Amino acid sequence: MFLLIELCFTALSIAIACAFPNLGANWFERCEQMFGRLAHRRGLAILVVGLAALAVRAAVLPILPIPEPAIQDEFSYLLASDTFAH
């Protein structure tokens, strides 16, 4: 079912892209300029990428919770991390 929905959205996106090739060009140019200015400030760029990764993970947490260890090796990683934390 989800594959069919994805295929329909993909076909619709391709049709819109072929019919209106310049749709959104101004928006993409503004985004490119904004990210270009951000890229010149290396420390701020690293901070933004790190915070964005944490924010996305926090936003997805209700849908994809923290995985429980299932393989023996994963338990050893938890033990090692707990040991190093203490």
Task: Output the CA–CA distances (angstroms, integers) from residue 56 to 2, 51, 52, in the order listed.
Answer: 22, 9, 6
Residue 67's pLDDT is what? 82
pTM value is 0.59
Residue 41's pLDDT is what? 96
Quote the Cα angle for 59-17-24, to 5°: 60
Q: Which structure tokens are listed for 81?
A: 């991390």
Q: How confident is the model at residue 78 (pLDDT cuts 50, 70, 90)?
A: confident
Whole-number Å distance between alpha carbons of 61 and 5: 24
Residue 44's pLDDT is what? 97
Whole-number Å distance between alpha carbons of 47 and 41: 10
Give the pLDDT confidence of 4-59 residue by residue, as tens digits: 999 999 999 999 999 999 998 999 999 999 999 999 999 999 999 999 999 999 99
